[in-house]
Chain A
Amino acid sequence: MRGNHVAAEAAVRAGCRYYFGYPITPQNEIPEYMSARLSEIEGGVFIQAESEIASIHMVIGASMAGGRVMTSSSGPGISLKQEGISFLCALELPAVIINMTRGGPGLGNIAPAQSDYFQATRGGGHGDYRTLVFGPNSCQELANLTYEGFNLADKYRIPVVILGDGMLGQMMEPVELPPEIPLKKLPPKDWTLTGAKGRPSRFLRSLILDPIKEEEHNWKLMRKYEKIVREEVRWETAYADDAKMMVIAFGIAARIAKGAIKRLREEGIKVGLLRPITLWPFPSKAIRDLAKKVKHFFVFEMNMGQMVEDVKLALEGNGEVHFYGRPGGVILTPLEIARVISSQYYQKRLG
């Protein structure tokens, strides 16, 4: 299945019945799939909105009503959605937002890029907030993380961002899809707006004029984020045991890097890989622990260097960081990145 279709089907199987979006390449297969799929399901709602801004606010409305809801877009469209993402965080509303990133800034192009890392992991909109951000590197992982994303969004009442890219959205791989969740099995929500029948009326708002109360709201959000940092960090390593240099890369870049590392290992070059799966929360502790035995880190991203800042923050100076990036939608081959890694490896006299 194509990545975009995988994400859409996984969402439906996770109980997503509401999708609001706006066309933008390279993620158009998601709204196309949802328009067909949701019209076959009783209670399924698909709207092609007049703008990204409208679609994210439709997401807010359906989320307030208690539904599992999703939107998707790419770079420029995600920028427009930032207003709503800030509100989702302030209002503590669950939702899943997919960004099949393209080359930027501005309109950029429609080729795969990772240039939205800062936007996704730093919040992106106004105010102090975080979103849970996943960086899948295969169609299978895209299915699993989209599916789980809905559970985590509900658990923490937080928007979950799936940060893919044009390649992940467009590529086709065999996938084992997770089972369909019956809506009745989903945990009940005690905060939704459904009309005040048999209970006191409720309101959901983000305006808190009293600074002391707004501060307390911020602390409440912060405590939630701290819990997520403690409990939800995910990463994986490969070839790490005897590595003299660790490559750190996420998403599709990690997959390319893994191909390069396989090649380098055949030549006896001792390089390993750490791949953050959650980009926020970032696997800082895992990187810090690695630095006890590895001193050389090679960060590869399809951008001008964004995640590398998190790597440096994690290391707190306990390791040497070399960055290599290709922005603009350029896709490196494993051979090319292998050459850059081995050149760095020999320059540092590691072999």
Chain B
Amino acid sequence: MKKVFSRPKSLKPTPFHYCPGCGHSIIHRLIGEVIDEMNLQEKIIGVPPAGCAVLAYNYFDIDMGEASHGRAAALATGLKRALPDRVVFTYQGDGDIAAIGTAESIHAAARGENITTIFVNNGVYGMTGGQMAPTTILGQNTTTSPRGRKESRDGFPINLSEMIAIAPGSAYIERTAVNNPANILKTKKAIAKAFRLQLQGFGFTLVEILSACPTNWKMAPIDACKWIDEVMSVHFPLGVLKDISGEKRDAH
């Protein structure tokens, strides 16, 4: 019988620890497929963050160096400047990149660091048990925004990708989601494009991925996917926010 579907070789045969319905497993797989297809396994270095994806090095069969909370972009800067011909990417959650690591992320983009950031936005601090994140939308319930996020008490959410898109050093910023097959394919194309532009030396690239956290959203996985379409993506619109490559939109 012909094998038509298997684990990417840049993923280890370790079962994911992620909750049912979590987007991390899908995103890990997409990155693994892109690494295989672009033949990057021997020249890529990943930087996992503090957060649910902190154990990413147990799953990826590539070199990985763990960063402390929020500092992935700075650590990746040091790696990439020392090894400019390798592909370096960070894998960060919303709290990591848009709260504690805001300065590191914005300045890496401003310097035009030739690295790629995979920014997984699920609107909560997942690993610590579902506290309010910088990307928690107004009205959203979390363990530290009981009865919904209120601007008077909690302030407004941050659209970090839009902020990074206005930095002259950023090259390609796209927001995607992994809540349905079409969006999953678009996400894979966006990751591949970001790595490709890094190889071509364009500068800072970032793919923000809206990803479900059914456990902390307290929703069934299918409802969580719908919520991304109906609520979350209204506040965080999907699409290309910046692209200086000159490539056609669909030329993935």
Report how many residues on chain A are interfacial, defined by Cβ distance under 8 Å.
Answer: 40
B81 close to A (CB within 8 Å): yes
Tell me if B's interface is mostly helix, strand, loop or mixed.
mixed
Let me know if A61 and B82 touch, CB within 8 A: yes
Considering the chains assembled together, what is the distance between the CA atoms of A57 and B81 in angstroms? 13
Q: Is the CB of B44 within 8 A of A58?
A: no
Chain B residue with minimal CB distance to A50?
B107
Chain B proximity of A189: nearest CB distance (Å): 12
The chain A residue sitting closest to B41, CB to CB, is: A196
Q: For B83, what are the chain A residues with a Cβ–Cβ distance below 8 Å?
A: 65, 194-195
CA of A194 to CA of B64, assembled, Å: 9
Instruction: Report the interface size class on chain B.
Output: 35 or more
Q: Does B97 contact A (CB under 8 A)?
A: no
In whole angstroms, how far apart are the Cα atoms of A204 and B41 in the complex? Answer: 17
Name the residue of chain A whose CB is nearest to the CB of B47. Answer: A61
* A202 partner residues in chain B, CB cutoff 8 A: 63-64
Query: A345 on the interface (CB 8 Å rule)?
Result: no
How far is B252's CA from A270's CA once the two chains are assembled, in angstroms? 82
**Are B65 and A197 in contact, CB atoms less than 8 angstroms apart?**
no
| B81 near A195: Cβ-Cβ < 8 Å | no
Closest to B110 in A: A50
Find A65's partner among B55, B57, B68, B82 (CB 8 Å cutoff): B82
A54 in contact with B103 (CB, 8 Å) = yes
Q: Is B151 an interface position by the 8 A CB rule? A: no
Q: Determine whether the beta carbon of A207 is less than 8 Å from that of B71.
A: no
Q: A46-81, CB under 8 A of B: which get 1 and which 0?
A: 010111011101111111111101000000000000
Q: Any chain B CB within 8 A of the CB of A20?
A: yes
Q: Identify which of residues 71-95 in chain B touch chain A, using a CB-to-CB cut-off of 8 Å.
A: 71, 74-83, 86-87
Q: Which of A24-64 contact B (CB under 8 A)?
A: 45, 47, 49-51, 53-55, 57-64
Q: Name B41-73 residues within 8 Å CB distance of A.
A: 41-45, 47, 50, 54-55, 57, 60-68, 71
B111 close to chain A: CB less than 8 A: yes
Chain A CB count within 10 A is highest, among B74, B86, B111, for B74
Task: Report B52 CB to chain A, min CB distance, Å.
Answer: 12
How far, in Å, is B192 (CB) from chain A's closest CB?
Answer: 18
The answer to whether A197 and B43 touch across the interface, beta carbons within 8 angstroms, is yes
| Residues from chain B with Cβ under 8 Å of A17 in the complex | 82
**Chain B contacts for A83, CB-based, 8 A:** 68, 71
Say yes or no: A62 contacts B68, CB within 8 Å. no
Other-chain residue from A57, A69, A196, A205 in contact with B62 (beta carbon distance below 8 A)? A196
The answer to the question of B104 belonging to the interface, with a C-beta cut-off of 8 Å to chain A, is yes
Distance between A280 CB and nearest chain B CB, rounded to angstroms:
23
Proximity bits, A73-101, B CB within 8 Å = 1, else 0? 00000000001100100010000000000
In the bound assembly, the distance between CA atoms of A59 and B65 in angstroms comes to 13
Cβ contacts B27-53/A at 8 Å (1 or 0 each): 000000000000001111101001000
The reply to whether the CB of A119 lies closer than 8 angstroms to some CB of chain B is no
B63/A58 in contact, CB under 8 A: no
Question: Which one, A18, A64, A196, contacts B65 given CB within 8 A?
Answer: A64
| A201–B185 CA distance with the chains assembled, in angstroms | 27
In the bound assembly, the distance between CA atoms of A58 and B80 in angstroms comes to: 10
A50 touches B63 (CB 8 A): no
Question: Which of B43, B54, B61, B68 makes the CB contact (< 8 A) with A87?
Answer: B68
Contacts of B66 in A (CB 8 A): 91, 203-207
Q: Is the CB of B79 within 8 A of A64?
A: yes
Cβ of B80 to closest chain A Cβ, rounded Å: 8
Cβ–Cβ contact B64 & A193, under 8 A? yes
Is A198 close to B, CB under 8 A?
Answer: yes
Docked Cα-Cα span, A251 to B128, in Å, equals: 45
- Tell whether, in the assembled complex, residue A193 and residue B74 are in contact, meaning their CB atoms are under 8 Å apart: no
Complex CA–CA separation, A14 to B106 (angstroms)? 33
Separation of A14 and B222 alpha carbons in the complex (Å): 58
Docked-complex contact A195 and B42, CB < 8 angstroms: yes
22 of the cross-chain contacts (CB-CB < 8 Å) are A18-B82, A47-B77, A54-B74, A54-B77, A54-B104, A57-B74, A57-B75, A57-B104, A58-B77, A60-B78, A64-B78, A65-B79, A65-B82, A69-B82, A193-B79, A195-B42, A195-B45, A196-B63, A203-B57, A203-B63, A203-B65, A204-B66
Can you add 13 more A-B contacts, CB < 8 Å, to A54-B71, A194-B86, A196-B41? Answer: A18-B78, A18-B81, A58-B78, A60-B67, A61-B76, A65-B83, A83-B68, A193-B45, A196-B62, A198-B42, A201-B64, A203-B57, A206-B66
Residues of A bordering B, CB below 8 Å: 17-18, 20, 45, 47, 49-51, 53-55, 57-67, 69, 83-84, 87, 91, 193-198, 201-207
Closest 5 CB pairs of A and B: A61-B78, A203-B57, A65-B82, A57-B74, A58-B78
